[in-house]
């Protein structure tokens, strides 16, 4: 076992003993036949949490996002999103490479959704000259935006304008749990403001794998075909779904702790606390490779976002003592 304090990402968590027990005890079946009780229970519960008719368990957030966007966008049409969105930054061009979907990006202020700015870029479906904008994708919380929570008024405005404008809204809710805990906005409200939404259990919720796509029953039936087509049909995968259900019961309620730890780190490192809305702290204007190497030598792992930016992410596997220790190490390095 290593003794590193790993602040690179909230994906580095390991399943807890309680989660492993839940996995071992899961009642399972063949999920390609839709006969895995643990998967079905998770899908039903997640659909209900977000106020949607149906849900589909998928292996990754990338698959959830890409199938979600494909459900509301035909090949040759476009999805509009923020230039720093995960769907266009970290998903290997899947929309184009796999689905023939065009993406167009708008540079936002640090990932913060500005509905009017996006809507102004939407192109109609009935013009012979223009690539039709079928959907807008929104990320909440925003990863490259340092975990910022999208303002509810902007989400509502985008939704209202989408109903008038005839385009769909896809939510990349990989960390929507963090947004919900930080803002107090119900998950069902976030769900109500999207046609399709992908949510992850392998980030702050601490499972080894697993995402769920929610949408209408009709769309989820189509999503099931796409999942199989992409090689994402899985068999007795209730062992993984059980981890997700366990996470909803035991890890969702504790996410606020991660947020508190992030604020603690920010305070220790002189970062403006207003920039810390969830579980991420961004250090700007630092010599990222040098700080990252030096921190590693002292047992603290951090993420280099760019040459001048470092990201710290708090999670289930860093307790308060570890956060304080990491704060001391990094504060000393930044003072040099």
Ligand X SMILES: *Cc1c(COP(=O)(O)O)cnc(C)c1O
Q: Which stretch binds ligand X (CB under 6 A): 54-62, 148-156, 179-187, 254-262?
A: 54-62
**How far is 269 from 40, CA to CA, in rounded Å?**
45
Q: Between 7 and 333, name the residue whose CB sits nearer to ligand X.
A: 7
Q: Does 8 bind ligand X (CB under 6 A)?
A: no
Q: List the alpha helices (DSSP H) in 3-92.
A: 17-24, 37-49, 61-72, 86-89
Q: Which stretch binds ligand X (CB under 6 A): 96-104, 110-118, 153-161, 198-206?
A: 198-206
Q: Return left, alpha or beta for 86; rule: phi > 0 is left, psi -120 to 50 is alpha, else beta.
A: alpha
Q: Which residue has the tokens 């803002």?
A: 183
Q: Does 207 bind ligand X (CB under 6 A)?
A: no
Closest residue by beta carbon to ligand X: 61
How many other CB atoms are there within 10 angstroms of residue 269's CB atom?
A: 18
Sheet arrangement for strand 303-306? 280-284, 309-313, 303-306
Smallest separation (angstroms) from ligand X to the CB of 334: 26
**How far is 327 from 309, CA to CA, in rounded Å?**
17
Rounded to a whole number of angstroms, the distance between the first and last alpha carbons of the chain is 30
113 contacts 138 by C-beta, under 8 angstroms = yes
Smallest separation (angstroms) from ligand X to the CB of 252: 17
Q: Does 82 bind ligand X (CB under 6 A)?
A: no
Q: Which of 174, 212, 282, 316 touches ligand X by CB under 6 A?
A: 174
**How far is 26 from 202, CA to CA, in rounded Å?**
18
Q: Judge residue 106's burial from the number of C-beta atoms within 10 Å of its C-beta, 0-12 exposed, 13-18 middle, 19 or more buried.
A: middle
Q: Does 61 bind ligand X (CB under 6 A)?
A: yes
Q: Between 65 and 245, name the residue whose CB sits nearer to ligand X.
A: 65
Q: Which of 88, 149, 200, 205 touches ligand X by CB under 6 A?
A: 200
Q: Which two tokens stand for residue 99?
A: 């689905």
Smallest separation (angstroms) from ligand X to the CB of 226: 15
Smallest separation (angstroms) from ligand X to the CB of 89: 9
**Window 248 to 307, contacts with ligand X (CB under 6 A):** none
**Cα dihedral across residues 312, 313, 314, 318: positive or negative:** negative
Q: Does 170 bind ligand X (CB under 6 A)?
A: no
Q: Does 172 bind ligand X (CB under 6 A)?
A: yes
Q: Which stretch binds ligand X (CB under 6 A): 102-110, 118-126, 179-187, 195-203?
A: 195-203
Q: Does 86 bind ligand X (CB under 6 A)?
A: yes
Footprint of ligand X (CB under 6 A): 60-62, 65, 86, 139, 143, 172, 174, 200, 202-203, 211
């Amino acid at each position: 076992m290593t003794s590193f304090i790993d602040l690179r990402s909230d994906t580095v968590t390991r399943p807890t003993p309680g989660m492993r027990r839940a996995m071992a005890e899961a009642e399972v079946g063949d999920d390609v036949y839709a006969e895995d009780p643990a998967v079905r229970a998770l899908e039903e519960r997640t659909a209900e949490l977000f106020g949607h008719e149906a849900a589909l368990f998928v292996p990754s957030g990338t698959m959830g996002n890409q199938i979600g966007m494909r459900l509301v966008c035909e090949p040759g049409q476009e999805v509009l999103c923020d230039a720093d969105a995960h769907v266009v930054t970290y998903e290997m061009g899947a929309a184009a490479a796999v689905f023939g979907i065009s993406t167009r990006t708008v540079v936002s202020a640090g990932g913060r959704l500005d509905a009017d700015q996006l809507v102004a870029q939407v192109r109609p479906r009935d013009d012979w000259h223009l690539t039709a904008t079928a959907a807008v994708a929104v990320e909440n919380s925003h990863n490259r935006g340092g975990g910022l929570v999208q303002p509810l008024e902007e989400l509502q405005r985008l939704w209202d304008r989408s109903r008038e404008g005839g385009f769909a809204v896809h939510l990349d809710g990989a960390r929507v749990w963090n947004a919900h805990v930080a803002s107090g906005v119900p998950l069902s409200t976030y769900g109500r403001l999207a046609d399709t939404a992908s949510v992850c259990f392998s980030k702050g919720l601490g499972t080894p794998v697993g995402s769920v796509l929610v949408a209408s029953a009709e769309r989820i039936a189509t999503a099931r075909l796409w999942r199989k087509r992409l090689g994402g049909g899985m068999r007795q995968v209730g062992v993984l779904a059980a981890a997700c259900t366990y996470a909803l019961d035991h890890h969702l309620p504790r996410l606020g702790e991660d947020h508190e730890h992030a604020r603690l780190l920010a305070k220790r490192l002189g970062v403006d606390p207003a920039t810390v809305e969830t579980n991420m702290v961004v250090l700007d204007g630092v010599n990222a490779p040098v700080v990252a190497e030096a921190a590693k030598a002292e047992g603290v792992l951090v993420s280099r976002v760019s040459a001048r930016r470092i990201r710290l992410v708090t999670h289930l596997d860093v307790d308060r003592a570890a956060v304080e220790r990491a704060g001391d190490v990094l504060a000393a390095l930044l003072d040099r």
